[in-house]
Amino acid sequence: MQLILCEKPSQAKEIASLVGASKRGEGCLLGNGVIVTWCIGHLLRMAEPDELNPDWAEWRLEQLPMIPSEWTMRVDRDKAKQFKAIKSLLSQATSVVIATDAGREGEMIAREILEHCNWRKGPVHRLWTSSQDEATLRKALASLLPGASKEPLYWSALARSRADYIVGMNMTRLYSLLAKQQGYQGVLSVGRVQTPTLALVVARDREIARFVSKPFFDVVITSAGGHGRTFAAQWLPVAQVADEEGRCINGPIAQQLAARLRGQAAQVASVEVKRVREQPPLPFSLSALQQVCDRKFGFGVQQTLDIAQSLYEKHKATTYPRSDCRYLPVAMLDEVKPVLQALAQSDPSLGPLVMQLDSRLRSSVWNDEKVNASDHHAIIPTMGVIDLSAMTEDERRVYELIRLHYLMQFMPAHEYDRTEVMLVALGQQFKAVGKVVAVAGWRALMVKSSASASLSADGAESDEAENSDAGGQELPPLEQGHVCPVTDAQVVEKKTTPPKFFTQGTLIAAMKGIARYVADPRLKAKLSETSGIGTEATRAAIIEGLIKRGFLLSSKRSVRSTDAAQSLIDALPQPLTDPGTTALWEQALSAIEQGQLTLDQFVATQAQWITHLVHEAKQAGRGALQIAATPTQACPLCSAPMRKRSGANGPFWGCTRYPECKGVMDGGGKKKRTRKKAEGAT
């Protein structure tokens, strides 16, 4: 009998209906010679330290380093019933189809069960798909892959898991015990991905704290062109009065120039017109979706992931959400018309729009090479007809955003003429930039929808609308040599601004684009190839974990590091805070997938490295870490110290300048509370 092993009950139900397994059994659906069962995520976990060695139950410095001599998996207590059912079903099975999510983690969820149960009774096949709609699942079921083709993903995932365990177990205990010697009460958690992520926030916070704002001065003239139409142009200061960014830093000079310019004439030195053609923004990867939802809707990254997962599992409205890819395979061109038809059926108001789309258009989204570099393709609508009324308001907003970016692929490019005019007045140069739309193209859809985004192909924020110096003005007809009277000249005083604090969305972007923070060109290339640190599936949980542990304070406007976080980052060896270490790991994990390195070799190397770090910290003793016994937090409104208090809704941080400042943060830093919720606190 064939056993199909799914990752979640919803997946199992969908597949069972397609293979004729309609009878309910214990933890399964069966019929037609097939059993369909399901995991609930990972049913197994790594054994806790005290389960590996009773002496490791108590945290003591002399125990470190702790390197397991053998690795043991334990059944998760809350999932023991389902594991027992699967184990029993495996005893009846003559072949297995792994139908868990496509990727390293999905492979591990299934393979660790087969290994734990020592199942060797027959062949293993792999169902590989990124969508759960009926048509796609039928296609995947008809073209199963040999199980061996994806098995290296399991060994790679297991290597990563064991090495993470060694790093986390030893480094967390080491620095928590060193901190305890100095009166700090709490756990200083250390991890391969979470620690470099925390270091990013600490570095940004310190850069902002060190920043000294400086004034600079823009001189803007208003000139008259043909037909009496006026336009604005900005002064390009000479080097003698400008900083390294080309900004005028001499206020009196700017004022004097403005006063002299009034009533003068500016001569057109050059006119350059360039036709700019913009392709539509790509569909979403998970991190790109999280960034946009953070910026537009104020959604936390975990909230966006939960919504995307619901759209995929519950509503069958979109494809696999934990994707790191923003491209689609050319083979999916055959599905364009069915998807567009399903969208129109699901939302009749889209009917007229769908009729205007050109399904023959080929935007840059169709790229097999980009898709082949990933386990998944972009998040797009499925071919299924869905019930929009069954969605929550937030689900509907995210769905419409995903849908919009798919529809844009079948609209013409947006085209505009960008005109750059250089003028000379009183021997000084001025620049005017204008824009005239030639073809609205896909931007016509953005006018009709508030669910629009501005992300480049790699997920970084971009100026899709126009260059920032365009100003949106429409210039009058101008030619070289034309003389334009200066009708007004104004000095606009500005100040340099510090970098922005991270938000959850921009922190996700930094994790994905971590390569820009690495100097070594080889490691930079590897991090670019692997889409940064963490995965689409884990980044939200990593940020949430840092917040819950008290390392980060998060509001809708910012994510900031706590004093404890800064002390920890200062104390840790550079390899633990450097994202380049993850790049080295990824190189090794790729080698495991390609059969060039074994699981045991990789783990042994990491154990040796951690042993060295532990011995170095022990020799440094108390000097290895300096941390305050009672850490303080910075108010998100005024940056004054905050004090932890208790309220009706649990602990929270309140500004010490209250009532002058009403800055209040959730005790875990997850969100800003209202003053009403905080009243009555002790």
Token pair of 414, please? 């947006």
Q: What does R_g of the chain's alpha carbons equal in angstroms?
A: 29
Read out DSSP for 244-266? Answer: TTS-B--HHHHHHHHHHHTT-EE
320, 327, 399, 406: the catalytic one is 320
Is 320 catalytic? The answer is yes
How far, in whole angstroms, is CA 75 from its chain's centroid?
31
Query: Residue 86's Cα: distance from chain center in Å?
Result: 34
Distance CA 199, CA 202 (A): 5
Whole-number Å distance between alpha carbons of 631 and 349: 55
Which stretches within 272-389 are classed as H helix?
A: 286-297, 301-313, 336-346, 351-356, 368-372
Q: Which of the 8 DSSP states describes residue 576?
A: H
Residue 578 Cα distances to 461, 503, 544, 591, 610, angstroms:
24, 21, 20, 21, 15
10 Å Cβ neighbour count for 9? Answer: 16
Neighbours of 145 (CB within 10 A): 14
* Amino acid sitting at position 99: A
DSSP-derived secondary structure for 233-247: EEEE--GGGB-TTS-
Give yes or no for a cis peptide into 476 (omega within 30° of 0).
no
Torsion-angle region of residue 190: left (phi > 0), alpha (psi -120 to 50) or beta? beta
What is the DSSP code string of 128-177? --S--SHHHHHHHHTTPEEGGGTHHHHHHHHHHHHHHHHHHHHHHHHHHH
Cα 125 from Cα 95, distance rounded (Å): 8
Q: How many CB atoms lie within 10 A of CB 204?
A: 22
- Fill in the amino acid letter for 651: P
CA distance 378 to 130: 9
Q: Which 3 state secondary structure label does DSSP give 490?
A: strand
Which residues are bridge partners to 234 per DSSP? 220, 431
Integer Cα distance of 346 and 344 in angstroms:
5
Place of tokens 């140069």: 429
Omega cis (within 30) before 521: no
Q: Which residues are catalytic?
A: 320
